[in-house]
């Protein structure tokens, strides 16, 4: 019973998330819809996995083409999901080419399976799927051809793991850098979780691929060891599903907000004058104390577009919009502490008064700018 539960746990987790995310994605939420498809394909993949490890030979052989197709589709789907969060405002059907290797190899394997005898199928199952005997490539006949397809699929899979997880990590990093030019408060907007999970996913997948090289027969001989990859993928996929279910902010929000000000004109005033106007807004109106200050507000107040304002802040002050605003906030917090040394201000109060969204973001920004925590600064 324990082995049965272990083999099927990733299937149950991904199937449940597929249903929940589908319900959410139907409500005009394309990223959730793509993640739902990813979870559904993962559920099919782990279902075929389970049938293999539970010993349903003939059933698994019938599903082997499905296994190949889903195994070569999950990482492209994960990448497409990250694109929906970071780059694509709507589902881009041109990304379907990412699934060409899966479709081609699965189709070839299906045809070979159809024209293979039961004896050939069992030889393929035993020598290729269980023991990964590369000598079967030279046996001749359909067994040899199916072995070639299998080993090619494993090479493609290894390539996909590196390509799509690294690409997803880079997309999330670029997206977070883009947010720095838009928002003073990054809370609930950044995709740090995507980067962290991509790294964990990469490690887990490489480990899984390494074990796969040893052969699936290892787990058939040592069924208790199946709990390791099964547990890792169950936890990882649950976290992806959970984070995806609570993720609200995407690149679509960034694009919609930028469109509000990108149509504004580029002022004919000199960069130096516009720089002074920005400093004047900070000094007189203390805009930095607004917890959710966005660069679009500066654009509207100065009646110029975001690209121009962002360029001036980057080039004239040498930092992002987020860093520029946080520097003002930290200076304001320091002034509060210096002017009222007898007051035992809480970090929450200082964060709120200075414009930070939370005490944690205040502490992080303060330490980044001053190289010391607010607590030590107070004692200082």
76 and 44 in a single domain? The answer is yes
Count of structural domains within the chain: 2
Confidence at 72, pLDDT banded by 50, 70, 90: very high
129 and 22 in a single domain? The answer is yes
288 and 184 in a single domain? The answer is no
237 and 272 in a single domain? The answer is no
Share in percent of the chain as helix, strand, coil (round to 5): 80, 0, 20
CATH number for position 46: 1.20.1070
Q: pTM, whole model, 2 decimals?
A: 0.85
Domain edge (last residue) among 219, 251, 283: 251
Q: Is the pLDDT of residue 228 over 80?
A: no
68 and 141 in a single domain? The answer is yes
**Token digits for 8?**
């099927």
Residue 102 belongs to domain spanning: 2-251
Q: Model confidence over 5-42: pLDDT tens digits?
A: 666 888 999 999 999 999 987 778 889 999 999 999 99
Q: Model confidence over 123-148: pLDDT tens digits?
A: 999 888 888 888 888 888 899 999 99
285 and 340 in a single domain? The answer is yes
173 and 272 in a single domain? The answer is no
66 and 113 in a single domain? The answer is yes
Q: Is residue 257 part of a domain?
A: no
77 and 211 in a single domain? The answer is yes
129 and 276 in a single domain? The answer is no
233 and 315 in a single domain? The answer is no
Instruction: List, in order, residues 6 or more apart from 70 with CB less than 8 Å away.
Output: 41, 42, 44, 45, 48, 102
132 and 39 in a single domain? The answer is yes
- Give the SS3 label for residue 183: strand
CATH number for position 349: 1.10.10.60
Q: Model confidence over 320-356: pLDDT tens digits?
A: 999 999 999 999 999 888 887 656 778 888 899 999 9
- Give the SS3 label for residue 294: strand
Domain edge (last residue) among 224, 251, 278: 251
Q: Is the pLDDT of residue 263 over 80?
A: no
């Amino acid at each position: 019973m324990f082995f049965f539960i272990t083999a099927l746990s990733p299937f149950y987790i991904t199937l449940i998330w597929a249903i929940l995310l589908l319900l959410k994605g139907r409500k005009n939420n394309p990223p959730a819809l793509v993640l739902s498809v990813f979870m559904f394909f993962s559920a099919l993949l782990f279902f075929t996995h389970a049938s293999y490890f539970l010993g349903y030979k003939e059933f698994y052989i019938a599903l082997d083409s499905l296994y190949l197709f889903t195994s070569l589709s999950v990482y492209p789907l994960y990448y497409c999901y990250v694109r929906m969060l970071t780059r694509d405002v709507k589902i881009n059907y041109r990304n379907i080419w990412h699934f060409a290797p899966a479709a081609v190899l699965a189709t070839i394997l299906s045809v070979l399976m159809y024209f293979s005898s039961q004896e050939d199928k069992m030889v393929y199952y035993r020598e290729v799927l269980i023991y990964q005997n590369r000598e079967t490539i030279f046996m001749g006949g359909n067994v040899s051809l199916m072995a070639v397809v299998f080993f090619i699929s494993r090479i493609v899979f290894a390539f996909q793991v590196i390509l799509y997880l690294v690409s997803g990590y880079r997309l999330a990093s670029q997206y977070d850098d883009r947010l720095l030019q838009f928002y003073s408060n990054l809370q609930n907007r950044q995709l740090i979780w995507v980067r962290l999970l991509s790294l964990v996913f990469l490690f887990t997948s490489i480990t899984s691929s390494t074990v796969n090289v040893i052969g699936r027969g290892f787990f058939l001989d040592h069924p208790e060891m199946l709990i390791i990859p099964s547990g890792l993928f169950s936890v990882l996929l649950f976290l992806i599903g959970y984070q995806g279910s609570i993720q609200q902010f995407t690149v679509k929000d960034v694009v919609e907000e930028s469109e509000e000000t990108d149509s504004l004109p580029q002022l004919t005033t000199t960069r130096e004058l516009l720089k002074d106007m920005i400093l004047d807004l900070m000094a007189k109106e203390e805009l930095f104390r607004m917890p959710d200050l966005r660069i679009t507000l500066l654009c509207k107040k100065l009646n110029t577009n975001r690209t121009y304002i962002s360029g001036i802040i980057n080039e004239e002050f040498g930092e992002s919009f987020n860093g520029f605003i946080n520097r003002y906030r930290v200076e304001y917090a320091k002034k509060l502490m210096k002017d009222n040394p007898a007051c035992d201000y809480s970090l929450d109060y200082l964060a709120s008064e200075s414009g930070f969204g939370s005490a944690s973001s205040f502490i992080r920004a303060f330490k980044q700018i001053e190289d010391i925590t607010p607590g030590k600064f107070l004692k200082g």
